[in-house]
Structure 1
Amino acid sequence: MPMRTRFTIWRTLATGVVAILTAAFLTPAAAQAATQQSRSPRESRPVYSYAHAVREAVWVDTGLDGDGDGKTDRVAADIVRPAEPARQGRKVPVIMDASPYYSCCGRGNESQVKTYDGYGHVVQMPLFYDNYFVPRGYAFVGVDLAGTNRSDGCVDVGGRSDILSAKSVVDWLNGRARAYTTRTGTKTVRATWTDGRTGMIGKSWDATIANGVAATGVKGLKTIVPISGISSWYDYYFAQGAPLYEGGPDELAGYVQSDEARAHCAAVQKKLADGSPRSGDWTGLWTERDYVKDAGRVRASVFLVHGMQDLNVRTKHFGQWWDALAAHGVERKIWLSQTGHVDPFDYRRGAWVDTLHRWFDHELLGYDNGIDREPMADVERHPGQWVTSRVWPPAGTRTTTLHPAPGSRAGVGTLGLHAASGTETFTDDPKRSETDWAARLTTSTPEKAGFLTAPLTHDLRLSGSSTVTVTATPSTASAHLSAVLVDLGPDTIRDYADAAEGITTLDNRTCWGASTAGDSSCFKETRAKTAQVDYTVFSRGWADLGHYASLGKGVPLTPGRAYTMTLRLAATDHVVPEGHRLALIVAGTDKDLIDPPSTTPTLAVSLSGTAARLPLVGGAAAFARATADATGAAPSPKALHGVRAPRTAEHIPG
């Protein structure tokens, strides 16, 4: 449940008084607009000049010496803010995006980078945030993380330097840190133009930094809007001991770092490499980069956005972060799309800009616009079709234990509420993936064990995070496990496995805010890229069986001995409709998503020691109702219709 207590009567009264007082300092047109903004419903209006906005750069002292040059590192913060409020003695809040991508890789669907004039002031700030919000009375601050673009220091991939790069700027905005007018000079500058109220936003790595800064509990950070963000860096590279990608954080740092950092940061690169062994063991490096454990320190509200088919920053990240925030009563809101790693600006543009506008007005300006009383969750049920939930997961969601059981054919079992005995056997085949398994669900194949319900007689909704406990006896000293949930039946979905992950970029542009010659607010439109499918993999999880006892240290397995391990699956919100089947697959290596073990084991799965615990809306009663009197057989799945198998995951969370 979201917490409402921060927004009490005093806040509405205070902002109303401010609006009335400041109207006296405005031009007649601006005064009229400000007076209108004091009335219900509240909404900030574009009454300030973007063309004449103040553009400046400061370098904030982080207090760290990451590159070991004997001087504390300074991070660059480029600022675009309306000129009029400062001249009238009024202060504005800040929207901030701290990123490593401002020069190396670009931001957004069109890969925009920062550009500068001859004085070193930013001309183009990527994305629409400055174009749209600066005329509405916000400042926008784009921060170069340590070791990137114009900042000192070294990239440490989610560690202390990364987080303090951004936190130090929040501190400076609130009068607690020192900043300079140049990278190496001694002239200091204060942020006298802001009230210190800051909201952080960003996608992927940027979103991750917002999560990490919020987890410090820094004062002045009022809200974060993390889009496809990482909540624990271990879970970006490993799934319970199973390696997810080749390479590691040292390679990622090398990709985004500046030339200056590349020349001075070899020691940091080595520390990253040494602290992230491909064994999958949890080390101190991962503890430093785990923000979930510090969710209790979060003071900011959280508007979380994620694609439910994101195979780059997988949905486990938002699931565990959301659950931890909920446990500590953090005010929160969520959007879940059918896309992969995609910004909502590129799949629900008009609604996104409007909702984000209202969210920042509420959180940073204190406007009582009712957004905190609206449904907590928006979920994309079909491409472009959205439903809402008053709370998320919905009221009545219950963790329900389903058990696999032998079927009438070897290798094709059933899934239900009652435990059963028996054994199913499969042999790891690193050439097969979740899509191969799903396409053969109704057929016995040697690389998987599959368990299905009969065709459902009512819709069945899963909302939240699942776990699957597996008891398996391996034939070799190493083994990896995969557990996959499948909706078996025809559907039209976003083509998340396409290179664009569910969207098609068009040639026409729409404009969102004011423009200048060097910074256009007009961006290419998109539409949903869809595909017809016979099944949908909607949640998955992986693990190395050698880490069954502890993530801290994997061990060789004893062939012939049974081991039990619980796999944590990706969070989701999915409806298996009437007539479809719900399926659980247990297998080994999931091609292109986890690396194979050093051996090729055969595993005997004990059905009595294996169970799936699923977040069903309505709980066991809903499952019993959906499977009551279910008879007959659904059509066998075919090869993928239009949706390709997931491509090899990229190494960059961008």
Structure 2
Amino acid sequence: MKNFANSLFHCLILVAFVITSATAQQSTLTVPVIEDGQAQAIEEFSNSEEWIRHDLWVETEFDTDGDGELDRMHVAVTRPAQTENGDLKLPVIYETSPYYAGTARPPYDFFWDVKQELGEDPPTRKTGPEIQRRGERPIISNSHISTWVPRGFIVVHSTSPGTGLSDGSPTVGGENEALAPKAVIEWLNGKANGYTTRDGNEQVEAFWTNGNVGMTGTSYNGFLPFAAATTGVDGLKAVIPVAPVTSFYKYYRSNGLVRSPGGYLGEDVDVLYDFIHSGDESKREYNNRTVRDGIMAEGLDRNTGDYNDFWEDRNYLKKMDNYKAATLMAHAFNDWNVMPEHSFEAYKQLKEMGVPAMVYYHQGGHGGEPPHELMNKWFTRYLFEIENGVEELERAWIVREGDDRENPTAYEDYPHPNASPVTFYPTSGAPERGGLSLNQSSNQGTETLVDNYSFTGSALAQAEWTNHRLIYTTPELSDSVHISGQPSVTVTMASNKPAANLTVWVVSLPWNDGRGSQITDNIITRGWADPQNYRSLSDGEPLEPGEFYTVEFDLQPDDQIIPAGQKIGLLIFSSDKEYTLWPQPGTELTIDLDRTSFTLPVVHGADAFSGMN
């Protein structure tokens, strides 16, 4: 990785333990073996046929399936045979998931119908099919095992509440989904009970671990380590969440607007519940009635999209007071499923709290772990407690355009410390293209667009002439421009109806849709808002037709270098075919140009646009 070798405190550490092997023969084994700050594969641990694999159930502190008994989570362990006599105690890498036991199969006809008038009751949703649970004991998952067990770690997996052989109910971000991994970590530290069976009393002890636990996973599996860390549970020393949901409101809503995650039009929290509910068939009716058709039906509010107590309970950015696990956050700037604001806001808070934190970003889409080298150094530092210099490394690792994901560029931090806000103001041009200026004009008047969900945002960005969007562009860039941070937009607008969608994209033009083009060639960032929530996220109010309102909101964070020869464009339209609800076409949005602007965080600030009027 660029600058990595020069940044790392190189070390070679050998920590020796004398242990008795599984065959009762005396031997000496060196654990861990560290080179260049990383745990190396150990020959004695590398034969998978000698690994010990077993499962158990860990008792939690909650009962969410209504049977009067504390829920137990199904847990699987994979460890070297050399840990069996109890003399060798190793750290744990742990992943938990609601997906391991299977999910709903196609056809996916149980999503919400997005063809809906804003503010009205949505069409009735068809419930999902019964999930056929899959998997055989004692193996829950094989993820991470071949990577980490040879290097001296034990790998643990568990199924989330209400999935697989775990008791309870899925809640899609509810408290039990944070407390479940907390219980497993406490069991690994001798503070919770584990049992050989789901309903028996024969206990199992984790005599083979030193109690240091690291967690990782992607998407929902990335949310769960983050959620576990918010509990402050002792023993959870490090987490590497990849594309994690940190607020389910931000996953399913945007600034008061009902918005689907990219690629899953019509998904909502109850849809995901139906997708993952693979637990005990005898408990499903109670869970459906209590959670899906009770708590979720009352709280998700697809009528207004407002923030409420239901979403507050699923906002883990508000639950970080006890967070202490060292965190390597990983995400993509073009992840339009779990959008980069999730990790961006979490990382910002962790820095303010003084928790050890680092970020890795790439330019692709959903998912994508950090390079193994970086993950290894992180887990080695905090699970083996070896001083390998990881604290002295740069805090941000960003894959530059066209580079391999294994080769990020190191930066002092993210956003770039030299980035400062640059504000642009639109100049008239509808229904063709207007301009963008660094100087605010006056007396420009207004421009109007007509909503029509039939057209995608990419089609609107490329159109030379259309009344379904407004677009404003800079002159052609004479030098490349490095954007780093979170852009924002201010739109002063009027609607001819009491409710309207508002969509804003920042794009790079001319549009590159040829072979081999990347998403970063076209879309810089984007965002959505409900103008009814211009004053309050939790209390939207109908718009007075013809009255102007100023709507201010953040767009998705980004770090991108726009090459010379491109133009930066501000695209404003109403319904986003791929993300928002689809009201009947015809709503008119009128934009006050003098009171509309957007701000980009740019390395070297306005100097990067020298020569631009």
> Fold-level match, TM-score > 0.5?
yes
> 78, 98, 114: which is aligned to 1:100?
98
1:602 alignment partner in structure 2? 588
Structure 1 outlier segments of 4+, above 4 Å: 23-35, 38-42, 490-493, 532-535
Asked if structure 2 preserves the Cα contact closer than 8 Å seen for 1:538 and 1:574, the reply is yes
Distance 1:114 1:226 in 2: 26
Pair 1:359–1:114, CA change in 2 (3 A) = farther
Distance 2:27 2:397 in 1: 35
1:257 alignment partner in structure 2? 277
Distance 1:261 1:458 in 2: 62
Pair 1:158–1:534, CA change in 2 (3 A) = closer
1:186 alignment partner in structure 2? 201
Distance 1:177 1:598 in 2: 55
Distance 2:328 2:344 in 1: 13
Instruction: Tell me, yes or no, if structure 1 residue 204 matches structure 2 residue 222.
Output: no
Distance 1:39 1:210 in 2: 27
> 512, 515, 522: which is aligned to 1:536?
522
Instruction: Tell me, yes or no, if structure 1 residue 617 matches structure 2 residue 613.
Output: no
Distance 1:429 1:41 in 2: 56
Instruction: Tell me, yes or no, if structure 1 residue 283 matches structure 2 residue 303.
Output: no
2:323 alignment partner in structure 1? 298
1:644 alignment partner in structure 2? none
Superposed displacement of residue 156, structure 1: 0.2
Asked if structure 2 preserves the Cα contact closer than 8 Å seen for 1:254 and 1:262, the reply is no
Pair 1:398–1:23, CA change in 2 (3 A) = farther
> 41, 47, 65: which is aligned to 1:45?
41
Residue identity opposite 1:418 in structure 2: N
1:273 alignment partner in structure 2? 297
Asked if structure 2 preserves the Cα contact closer than 8 Å seen for 1:276 and 1:285, the reply is yes
Asked if structure 1 preserves the Cα contact closer than 8 Å seen for 2:238 and 2:325, the reply is yes
Distance 2:496 2:612 in 1: 40
Residue identity opposite 1:74 in structure 2: R
Asked if structure 1 preserves the Cα contact closer than 8 Å seen for 2:227 and 2:316, the reply is yes
Asked if structure 1 preserves the Cα contact closer than 8 Å seen for 2:416 and 2:485, the reply is no
1:502 alignment partner in structure 2? none
> 355, 366, 376: which is aligned to 2:395?
376
Residue identity opposite 1:414 in structure 2: G
1:300-319 aligned at under 5 Å gives the runs: 300-319=325-344
Pair 1:260–1:358, CA change in 2 (3 A) = farther
Superposed displacement of residue 34, structure 1: 4.2
1:228-268 deviations in whole A, cap 9, x for unaligned? 11110011111112212325222211221123442331211
User: Identical aligned pairs, as a percentage?
Assistant: 29
Asked if structure 2 preserves the Cα contact closer than 8 Å seen for 1:204 and 1:313, the reply is yes
Superposed displacement of residue 280, structure 1: 0.4
Residue identity opposite 1:257 in structure 2: H
Asked if structure 2 preserves the Cα contact closer than 8 Å seen for 1:412 and 1:450, the reply is yes
The secondary structure found in structure 1 opposite 2:426 is strand
1:471 alignment partner in structure 2? 492
Pair 1:478–1:29, CA change in 2 (3 A) = farther
2:449 alignment partner in structure 1? 426
1:364 alignment partner in structure 2? 383
Superposed displacement of residue 402, structure 1: 2.1
Gaps in structure 2 of 5+ consecutive residues: 1-8, 105-132, 261-265
1:450 alignment partner in structure 2? 471
1:29-428 aligned at under 5 Å gives the runs: 31=28, 33-34=30-31, 37=33, 41=37, 43-46=39-42, 47-48=44-45, 49-87=47-85, 89-105=87-103, 115-116=135-136, 120-122=137-139, 125-127=141-143, 129-245=144-260, 246-258=266-278, 259-265=281-287, 266-270=289-293, 271-278=295-302, 279-344=304-369, 352-385=371-404, 386-407=408-429, 411-421=432-442, 422=444, 423-428=446-451
Asked if structure 1 preserves the Cα contact closer than 8 Å seen for 2:497 and 2:544, the reply is yes
Superposed displacement of residue 533, structure 1: 8.1
1:110-134 deviations in whole A, cap 9, x for unaligned? xxx9843xxx322x7233x111211
Residue identity opposite 1:468 in structure 2: V
The secondary structure found in structure 2 opposite 1:165 is helix
The secondary structure found in structure 2 opposite 1:267 is helix
Distance 1:179 1:535 in 2: 52
Superposed displacement of residue 410, structure 1: 5.4
Distance 2:612 2:419 in 1: 23
Superposed displacement of residue 339, structure 1: 2.0
Distance 2:350 2:583 in 1: 35
Residue identity opposite 2:15 in structure 1: A
Superposed displacement of residue 173, structure 1: 1.4
Superposed displacement of residue 571, structure 1: 1.4
Superposed displacement of residue 159, structure 1: 0.7
Superposed displacement of residue 305, structure 1: 1.6
1:512-563 deviations in whole A, cap 9, x for unaligned? xxxxxxxxxxxxxxxxxx4378951121100111111212122211001111
Pair 1:374–1:105, CA change in 2 (3 A) = farther
TM-score (normalizing by structure 2): 0.85
Distance 1:95 1:466 in 2: 36
Residue range with higher mean Cα deviation, 210-219 or 473-482: 210-219
Superposed displacement of residue 611, structure 1: 1.7
Pair 1:200–1:185, CA change in 2 (3 A) = same
Gaps in structure 1 of 5+ consecutive residues: 1-8, 107-112, 345-350, 496-529, 631-654
1:365-416 deviations in whole A, cap 9, x for unaligned? 1233334333333323334444332321112111232222235x65522223
Residue identity opposite 1:289 in structure 2: R
Distance 1:222 1:534 in 2: 35
Asked if structure 2 preserves the Cα contact closer than 8 Å seen for 1:424 and 1:605, the reply is yes
Distance 1:40 1:450 in 2: 51
Pair 1:260–1:138, CA change in 2 (3 A) = farther
The secondary structure found in structure 2 opposite 1:531 is coil
The secondary structure found in structure 2 opposite 1:592 is coil
Distance 2:526 2:154 in 1: 41
Superposed displacement of residue 295, structure 1: 3.1
Superposed displacement of residue 192, structure 1: 2.0
TM-score (normalizing by structure 1): 0.79
Asked if structure 2 preserves the Cα contact closer than 8 Å seen for 1:451 and 1:585, the reply is yes
Superposed displacement of residue 29, structure 1: 12
The secondary structure found in structure 2 opposite 1:66 is coil
Q: Over aligned residue pairs, what C-alpha RMSD do you find?
A: 2.8
Asked if structure 2 preserves the Cα contact closer than 8 Å seen for 1:175 and 1:190, the reply is yes
Asked if structure 2 preserves the Cα contact closer than 8 Å seen for 1:478 and 1:597, the reply is no
Asked if structure 1 preserves the Cα contact closer than 8 Å seen for 2:20 and 2:26, the reply is no
Asked if structure 1 preserves the Cα contact closer than 8 Å seen for 2:361 and 2:398, the reply is yes
Distance 2:520 2:181 in 1: 45
Asked if structure 1 preserves the Cα contact closer than 8 Å seen for 2:249 and 2:315, the reply is yes
Distance 2:340 2:544 in 1: 33
1:557 alignment partner in structure 2? 543
